[in-house]
């Protein structure tokens, strides 16, 4: 029996979506702008200009999908012609441009309702919410209470947090409340418990996620967020592709933050990992261990968290090249009857204004399992991806979406 391996490059958009103007993102283009920047700028002081090179992704149709999505060529060829599998792009119909919406829609459950958001003003959280968090968490108070970059607010308030014992709470343009605390001074388990309290408290506000953001270090100069991040997400309102896979007697092996994104529902086995290198290794382990009739699903979060949000164009490009260089290690573990999908969940153009996600189309690159080498029609919803996988795996159709012929 067959397996499906989904490798999701978090935030890897390939051109602004048809409705991007409504989100302030018309013109955003994660891949296009990275390619353009690297084609013009030296990677280090006095170094040579070296265009973006992604030969293994390109041979699976990435460059062709980008041209289809953008309507024009990239600034420089990615290094290989399309020779393997079927390619296209997909548009999102969910409201918002956040992680949960993108993943849920891929799995056949678009977000048709409005998430709750906190306004971009000082003291952005309702004071009754903050007061309840302080009381139930037995806290001396909180710091932050604003929209912020996670790395910057830790530098700004981390030392005061250690001195006072007050955790740092902040948000972004996403439907999220994040809590940062020092792993040793505050305690990792205490941070997790506080996030569980916050998860219950934000229910009336329709917030999608609480995120624990632990960090270590002795001062602002060396504070570093750790890989012990944990997301507390609301469950999808309908059965997802993952739920249907498990209900049909199959398995879902989740790597990285996939289990958190789906509220640990429809998950058979979870491989905790953080950092591109460790996520590649965990994916290889999952594929090696996965029996027939299994979906292996990895989220490569670093593209989003380490480079997109930090507006690090060069870092994003070099991370893509690193992933591309290691992709053959994963594909070498696939069986002839396995299906491979390379995709994303939204954009996060590192050249864009602000530090938030960008509303973009995503690449859809299918290969393996006898997939023809061809261009697929553009997908009107991410849900068509889940429907295609459901049909391939021989399980019940997803809540919405139509399968494409591979």
> What's the pLDDT tens digit per position in 8-39?
999 999 999 999 999 999 999 999 999 999 99
Q: Are 347 and 19 in contact (CB under 8 A)?
A: no
Q: What is the pLDDT of residue 47?
A: 81
pLDDT in the model for residue 48? 87
Taking CA 384 as the corner, what is the angle to CA 379 and CA 388, rounded to the nearest 5 degrees? 125
**Confidence (pLDDT) at 37:** 97
pLDDT of amino acid 154: 96
Q: Which two tokens stand for residue 371?
A: 């997939």
* Domains defined along the chain, listed by start: 4-109+236-393 (3.40.720.10), 127-233 (3.30.70.1250)
How confident is the model at residue 405, as a pLDDT? 95
How many other C-beta atoms are found inside a 10 Å radius of the C-beta of residue 248? 13
Residue 173 pLDDT: 83
Pairing of strands 143-147, 168-171: parallel
- Distances in Å between the alpha carbon of 270 and those of 8, 134, 259? 16, 32, 7
pTM of the model: 0.93
Please state, for a pLDDT cut of 90, what percent of the chain lies above it.
95
Q: DSSP letters along 226-256, please?
A: -TT-EEEEPPPSS--HHHHHHHTT-EEEEET
Whole-angstrom distance, CA of residue 282 vs CA of residue 277: 9
Find the helix or strand (DSSP H, E) in which 158 lies. helix 150-164
Looking at residue 260, its pLDDT comes to: 94
Rounded to whole angstroms, how far apart are CA atoms 199 and 183?
Answer: 20
Low-confidence ranges of the chain (pLDDT < 50): none
Q: What is the pLDDT of residue 132?
A: 98
**Average pLDDT across the chain, whole number:** 96
Q: Can you give the length of the chain in residues?
A: 406
Neighbours of 342 (CB within 10 A): 25
């Amino acid at each position: 029996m067959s397996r499906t391996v989904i490798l999701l490059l978090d935030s890897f958009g390939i051109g602004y979506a048809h409705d991007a103007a409504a989100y302030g993102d018309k013109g955003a283009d994660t891949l296009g702008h990275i390619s353009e920047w690297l084609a013009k700028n030296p990677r280090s002081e006095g170094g040579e200009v070296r265009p973006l090179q992604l030969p293994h992704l390109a041979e699976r149709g990435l460059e062709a999908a980008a041209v289809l999505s953008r309507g024009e060529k990239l600034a420089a060829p990615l290094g290989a012609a399309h020779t393997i599998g079927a390619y296209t792009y997909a548009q999102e119909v969910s409201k918002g441009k956040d992680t949960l919406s993108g993943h849920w829609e891929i799995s056949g459950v678009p977000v048709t309702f409005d998430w709750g958001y906190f306004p971009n003003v000082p003291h952005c959280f309702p004071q009754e919410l903050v007061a309840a968090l302080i009381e139930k968490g037995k806290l001396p108070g909180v710091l932050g209470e604003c929209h912020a970059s996670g790395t910057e607010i830790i530098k700004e308030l981390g030392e005061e947090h250690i001195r006072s014992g007050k955790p740092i709470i902040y948000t972004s343009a996403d439907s999220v409340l994040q809590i940062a605390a020092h792993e040793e001074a505050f305690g990792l388990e205490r941070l997790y418990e506080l996030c569980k309290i916050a998860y219950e408290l934000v229910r009336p506000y329709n917030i999608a996620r609480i995120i624990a953001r632990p960090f270590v270090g002795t001062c602002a100069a060396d504070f570093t967020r750790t890989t012990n991040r944990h997301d507390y997400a609301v469950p999808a309102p309908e059965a997802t592709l993952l739920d249907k896979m498990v209900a049909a007697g199959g398995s879902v092996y989740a790597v990285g933050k996939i289990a958190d994104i789906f509220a640990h529902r429809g998950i058979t086995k979870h491989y905790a990992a953080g950092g591109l290198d460790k996520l590649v290794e965990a994916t290889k382990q999952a594929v090696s261990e996965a029996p027939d009739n299994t979906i292996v699903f990895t989220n490569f979060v670093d593209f989003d968290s380490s480079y997109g949000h930090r507006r690090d164009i060069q870092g994003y490009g070099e991370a893509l090249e690193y992933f591309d260089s290691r992709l053959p290690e994963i594909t070498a573990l696939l069986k002839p009857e396995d299906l491979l999908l390379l995709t994303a969940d939204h954009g996060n153009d590192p050249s864009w204004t602000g530090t938030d996600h960008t509303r973009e189309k995503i690449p859809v690159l299918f290969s393996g399992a006898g997939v023809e080498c061809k261009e697929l029609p553009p997908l009107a919803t991410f849900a068509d991806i889940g429907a295609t996988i459901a049909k391939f795996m021989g399980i019940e159709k997803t809540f919405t979406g139509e399968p494409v012929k591979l």
